[in-house]
């Protein structure tokens, strides 16, 4: 018996995809010219200390602690403006890069950008839930991510060479303009109005705790997510040190790593998107967690810079997995009326581990060295995958609740 063909995209979805893909292409340029090089610039050009790297990572996590507040501000209002404008400001802050002449000022710039980027999270979930029907949501999200990744492959290779020749104080403002243009393009997304049974008001911590206490599946998945996320966050202060101090990586090599990551995102977008449309999103989640555990394993053993190509690939597969799979898991469990609230709860816990993880990573580096961080991360992430495999609801059709 042949495999059932996925349903085609409707004209409305194709229209939304044209806008979403064009915005993703603009964002890909912004991201390719900024994200891979932040740690390198801080450590190599500005002489950031392990403490400063840990503070930057922890502050980025702390921004997520405001997620419930952002979700309450969204309430039942149209989500698109709450998605577009915080993202616009977050990207526009990189216009100020020429003024960041010290490690602390650059860290402050990155943290401020993270604050506004985190504010867009709950609204993004509401936009996705309204914009793309469940039967095609995974493929639609995967297609958008694939478009950005396809452009990112060539951009990353060129960006590495560009940073060898041009000062980041010139590159970052140009990237910021393109990132802001991506946000403006997203203003045209045809987001439907909420149904009469649409999102209700989002409560505070007490109401959120009630939600977690009464939803057994969500509670167990939050535990697994916390372990996996902690494994990710404790690595953040170690990465720049591994690149610069241990393996002596050049900007050109960072560009190659980013190109490999973009290629992996291209493949991962198709794979994860198709998988969550064909099977339970929880099946995709444990697979993603196992792939993620490969990253610290590679970094712990890496003796040559070029081995980080492999960790860049696995890290990118997890990155696109978090974009597609975790968002799908949360929307599937929450249903159409509570997506923003569930995303906010998950993001708040991400903020807790985002604060504690980098600080713990910094302590591990000081006590046992850079590579010890990756050993601990491997144990945490493998444990998360094991918990999801054991989840009783894994084989159920999770999205039947949507």
Q: How many residues does the chain have?
A: 402
- Name which of 151, 225, 200 is nearest 340 in CA terms: 200
Question: How many angstroms separate the Cα of 66 from the Cα of each of 82, 176, 398?
Answer: 14, 24, 28
In a domain, 320, yes or no: yes
In a domain, 246, yes or no: yes
Rg (CA), the chain: 20
**Residues 131-141, mean pLDDT to the nearest whole number:** 78
**Residues 302-308, mean pLDDT to the nearest whole number:** 85
In a domain, 221, yes or no: yes
| Residues near 390 by beta carbon (within 8 Å), at least 6 away in sequence | none
* Separation between Cα atoms, residue 374 and residue 368, nearest integer Å: 11
**The predicted structure's pLDDT at residue 400:** 39
| Residues near 27 by beta carbon (within 8 Å), at least 6 away in sequence | 148, 178, 179, 182
Give yes or no for residue 63 having a pLDDT over 90. no
Tell me which residue range forms the domain holding 55.
12-193+201-401
Question: How many angstroms separate the Cα of 103 from the Cα of each of 53, 96, 109, 241?
Answer: 9, 14, 10, 15
In a domain, 6, yes or no: no
How many domains does the chain contain in total? 1
CB of 7 closer than 8 Å to CB of 135: yes
In a domain, 384, yes or no: yes
In a domain, 284, yes or no: yes
Question: What tens digit of pLDDT does each residue of 36-49 get?
Answer: 788 888 888 888 88
In a domain, 5, yes or no: no
The mean pLDDT value of the chain amounts to 80
**The predicted structure's pLDDT at residue 1:** 43
Give yes or no for residue 250 having a pLDDT over 70. yes
**The predicted structure's pLDDT at residue 211:** 65
Higher pLDDT, 296 or 282: 296
Report the predicted TM-score, pTM, of the whole model to 2 decimal places: 0.68
Give yes or no for residue 185 having a pLDDT over 90. yes
Higher pLDDT, 203 or 31: 31
| Residues near 361 by beta carbon (within 8 Å), at least 6 away in sequence | 54, 57, 233, 234, 235, 236, 237, 238, 373
In a domain, 4, yes or no: no
Label residue 217 by pLDDT band (50, 70, 90): confident
Neighbouring C-beta atoms of residue 299, cutoff 10 Å: 27
- 3 state SS for 361-377: HHHHHHHHCHHHHHHHH
Q: Which two tokens stand for residue 131?
A: 């914009």
- Domain containing residue 343: CATH number: 1.20.1250.20
User: In degrees rounded to 5, what are phi and psi of residue 197?
Assistant: -100, 25
Residue with tokens 């506004």: 116
């Amino acid at each position: 018996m042949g495999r059932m063909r996925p349903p085609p995209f409707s004209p409305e979805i194709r229209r939304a995809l044209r806008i979403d893909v064009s915005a993703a292409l603009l964002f890909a340029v912004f991201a390719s010219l900024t994200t891979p090089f932040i740690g390198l610039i801080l450590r190599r050009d500005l002489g950031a200390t392990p403490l400063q790297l840990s503070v930057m990572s922890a502050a980025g996590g702390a921004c997520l602690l405001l997620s419930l507040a952002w979700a309450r501000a969204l309430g039942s209002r149209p989500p698109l403006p709450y998605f577009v404008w915080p993202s616009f400001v977050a990207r526009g802050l990189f216009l100020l890069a020429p003024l960041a002449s010290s490690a602390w000022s650059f860290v402050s710039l990155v943290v401020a950008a993270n604050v506004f980027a985190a504010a867009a999270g709950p609204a993004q979930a509401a936009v996705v839930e309204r914009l793309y029907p469940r039967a095609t949501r995974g493929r639609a999200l995967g297609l958008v991510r694939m478009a950005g990744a396809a452009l990112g492959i060539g951009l990353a290779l060129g960006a590495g060479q560009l940073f060898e020749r041009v000062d980041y104080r010139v590159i970052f403002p140009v990237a910021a303009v393109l990132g802001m243009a991506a946000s403006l393009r997203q203003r045209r997304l045809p987001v439907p109005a909420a149904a009469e049974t649409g999102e209700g008001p989002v409560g505070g911590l007490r109401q959120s705790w009630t939600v977690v206490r009464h939803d057994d599946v969500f509670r167990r998945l939050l535990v697994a997510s916390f372990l996996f996320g902690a494994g990710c966050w404790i690595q953040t202060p170690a990465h720049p040190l591994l690149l610069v101090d241990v393996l002596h990586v050049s900007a050109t090599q960072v560009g190659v790593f980013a190109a490999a990551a973009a290629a992996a995102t291209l493949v991962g977008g198709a794979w994860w998107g198709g998988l969550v449309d064909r099977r339970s999103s929880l099946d995709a989640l444990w697979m993603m967690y196992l792939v993620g555990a490969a990253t610290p394993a590679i970094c712990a053993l890496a003796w040559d810079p070029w081995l980080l190509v492999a960790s860049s690939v696995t890290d990118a597969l997890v990155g696109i997995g978090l974009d597609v799979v975790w968002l799908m898991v949360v929307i599937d469990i929450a249903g159409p009326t509570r997506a923003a609230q569930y995303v906010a709860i998950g993001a708040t816990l991400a903020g807790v581990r985002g604060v504690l993880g980098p600080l713990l990573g910094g302590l591990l580096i000081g006590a046992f060295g850079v590579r010890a961080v990756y050993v601990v991360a491997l144990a945490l992430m493998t444990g998360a995958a094991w918990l999801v495999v054991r989840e009783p609801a894994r084989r159920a059709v999770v999205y039947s609740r949507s």
